């Protein structure tokens, strides 16, 4: 199977949520399913920031559904959007 790079925008449940700690919790929740390669804060408005999470996973039936469910279950996550999915070429 091929691998895909997925970018997910995660909105925290509150402006006071520590985004670095949230990224670490997300990375832990995805262990064995996907590898988080990067997370970056994205300012939105009024002091609120989103967390952009880039991860690599195996392409599979159901797409990103399992990953979305795992991220949604992490404490501090309000909502998420899959921003982009790209096929990774090479071996």
Q: Tens of pLDDT along the chain (91 residues)?
A: 789 999 999 999 998 999 999 999 999 999 999 999 999 999 998 888 999 999 999 988 888 999 999 999 999 999 999 999 999 976 5
Helix or strand or coil: residue 74? coil
d(CA 45, CA 31): 31
Residue-level pLDDT at 46: 85
- Picking from 75, 55, 50, the residue whose alpha carbon sits closest to that of residue 67 is 55
Count of residues in the chain: 91
Domains of the chain by start residue, with CATH: 3-85 (3.30.70.60)
């Amino acid at each position: 199977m091929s691998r895909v790079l997925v970018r997910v925008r995660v909105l925290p449940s509150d402006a006071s949520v520590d985004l670095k700690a949230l990224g670490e919790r997300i990375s832990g929740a995805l262990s064995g399913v996907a590898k988080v390669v990067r997370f970056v804060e994205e300012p939105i408005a009024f002091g609120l920031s989103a967390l952009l999470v880039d991860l690599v996973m195996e392409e599979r039936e159901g797409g990103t559904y399992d990953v979305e469910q795992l991220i949604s279950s992490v404490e501090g996550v309000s909502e998420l959007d899959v921003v982009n999915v790209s096929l990774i070429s090479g071996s």
